[in-house]
Amino acid sequence: MNISSYFSSELFKGKTVFITGGGSGINLGVAKNFATLGANIAICGRTQAKLDSAAGELRALGAKVCVAVADVREMAALEAALAQTKAELGSIDVLVCGAAGNFLVPAEQLSANGFKTVIDIDLMGSFNASRAAFSQLKETRGSIIFISAGQAYMPYAYQVHVAAAKAGIDMMMKNLALEWGRYGIRCNSIVPGPIEGTEGMKRLSSPDALAQLTAGIPLGRMGTVDEIGQVAVFLASPLASYVSGTVLVTDGGQNLAGSALFNMGAEKMMNAAAAAAKNNTGSAR
Ligand code: COA
């Protein structure tokens, strides 16, 4: 589906969308949907080559693009990226906090630094970006979209770090919606379900468990990055002008069946990793 069949291709003309972690995956899909509707796009991330490749795809859709290497854990780098965006593209109207990190690990094996790393990227990174963008969003009466996850409200095995980070993001989102509404700034979260072809799915589920996982989703399939992009476009658009403080779950109904099916995939992934490690140790002897 091309989003411009449903929304005006000028919906975001003259507006700039700044996306953390915008170089790949769901975040790049979000960027492309905004670009298709006339937005200028700024993306930040840790890897220049990944950002350059994404920028090429966005320019091909007609967007003016600003690229900044910035780790969301570093406030000064984010502030510089936002200042560069304002200088190059004129304003910041929508902030998408999408940068995230994840890996499967049993809680009893997770180090304090491992836990902190995901809190720093996901939760602190989302606060840092929101805080750094505040004055510009206040000027434009803009909006913020957080990319959350089902781990925020439902326990998923081997992801205690992510659960804490994403639950924090959704509560922070509500606090910011409460405090910044007076400036016309709307804040909302999207909870993507299993999205095909993403780094997240590669990291979190064994391929042979995906068929079962998919069968457990009421809509009977995984989602696409475009389906998350479309929801982001809606939330940032005037159609959602009275929507703030909302968590918009976009998962084909996956959460209705609980996380058990997802956990089966994670279990298989962990078992395969443990078997591979054992084989390596064996062959090294
Ligand atoms: N299992 C257990 N602990 C792990 C781990 C794993 N698979 N991967 C990293 N860690 C721990 C490390 O051991 C380290 O802790 P320690 O100092 O106590 O040993 C800590 O996490 C930081 O690891 P490091 O590799 O230095 O972090 P980083 O900042 O370079 O990378 C990650 C961040 C770990 C989140 C990395 O996976 C990443 O860059 N991910 C980005 C992409 C991504 O996850 N996308 C999917 C989003 S859904």
Pairing status of strand 143-147 against strand 94-97: parallel
Q: Which atom of ligand 1 is nearest to the CA of 114?
A: 21
For helices 160-180 and 125-140, give the axis angle rounded to 10 degrees: 20
Beta bridge partners of 44: 20, 68
Domains observed in the chain: 12-204+223-256 (3.40.50.720)
Taking Cα atoms as reference points, which of 87, 81, 32 lies closest to residue 60? 32
| CA–CA separation, 177 and 185 (whole Å) | 7
- Gap from CA of 159 to ligand 1 centroid (Å): 12
Q: Is 42 helix (H, G, I), strand (E, B) or coil?
A: strand
Taking the CA of residue 200 as reference, the ligand 1 atom at the shortest distance is 48
Start-to-end Cα distance in the chain: 54
Structure tokens at 257: 């069946």
Q: Which pLDDT belongs to residue 283? A: 63
User: Among the atoms of ligand 1, which is closest to the Cα of residue 100?
Assistant: 47
Q: What is the pLDDT of residue 49?
A: 98
If you measure from the C-alpha of residue 195 to the centroid of ligand 1, how many angstroms do you get, rounded to a whole number?
21
CA 102–ligand 1 middle distance (angstroms):
7
CA 209, CA 261: separation in Å to the nearest integer?
A: 8
Q: How distant is the alpha carbon of residue 239 from its chain centre?
A: 22
Length of the chain, please?
A: 285
Two tokens, residue 10: 């000028």
- The per-residue pLDDT for 265 is 87
Nearest residue (CA) to ligand 1, atom 34: 101
User: Distances in Å between the alpha carbon of 175 and those of 72, 165, 285?
Assistant: 20, 15, 55
In a 3-state reduction of DSSP, which class is residue 184? coil
Q: Does ligand 1 have an atom closer than 6 angstroms to the CB of 13? A: no
* Sequence-separated (6 or more) residues with CB below 8 Å from residue 88: 42, 64, 66
Residue nearest to atom 17 of ligand 1 (CA): 113
State the catalytic residues.
Answer: 148, 166
Asked if residue 105 has its Cβ within 6 Å of ligand 1, the reply is yes
Minimal CA–CA distance to 193: which of 208, 183, 204?
204
User: Mean pLDDT per 10-residue run, the chain (285 residues)?
Assistant: 88 98 98 98 98 98 98 98 98 98 97 98 98 98 98 96 98 98 98 93 85 91 97 98 98 92 87 91 65
Largest CA distance in the chain: 66
Give yes or no for residue 117 CB within 6 A of ligand 1: yes
Tell me how far the alpha carbon of residue 114 lies from the centroid of ligand 1, in angstroms. 6
Residue 216 CA to residue 268 CA, distance in Å, equals 17
Cα separation, 239 vs 95, in Å, equals 17
Ligand 1 centroid from CA 225, angstroms: 24
**Hey, how many other C-beta atoms are within 10 angstroms of the C-beta on 33?**
28
Give the contacts of 266 (CB within 8 A, at least 6 positions apart). Answer: 104, 156, 157, 158, 159, 204, 205, 206
Closest-CA residue, ligand 1 atom 39, reads 101
Name the helix (H) or strand (E) containing 192.
strand 186-192
Helix, strand and coil content of the chain, in percent to the nearest 5, comes to: 55, 15, 30
In this predicted structure, what is the pLDDT of residue 284?
A: 57
Q: Give how far Cα 112 sits from Cα of 106, 160, 175, Å.
A: 13, 12, 27
Protein residue closest via CA to atom 9 of ligand 1: 114
Q: Whose CA is nearest to atom 29 of ligand 1?
A: 117
Task: Kindly write down the DSSP assignment for every residue of 150-161, as one continuous string.
Answer: GGGTS--TT-HH
Take atom 36 of ligand 1 and give the residue whose Cα is closest: 101
Cβ of 203 below 6 Å from ligand 1: yes
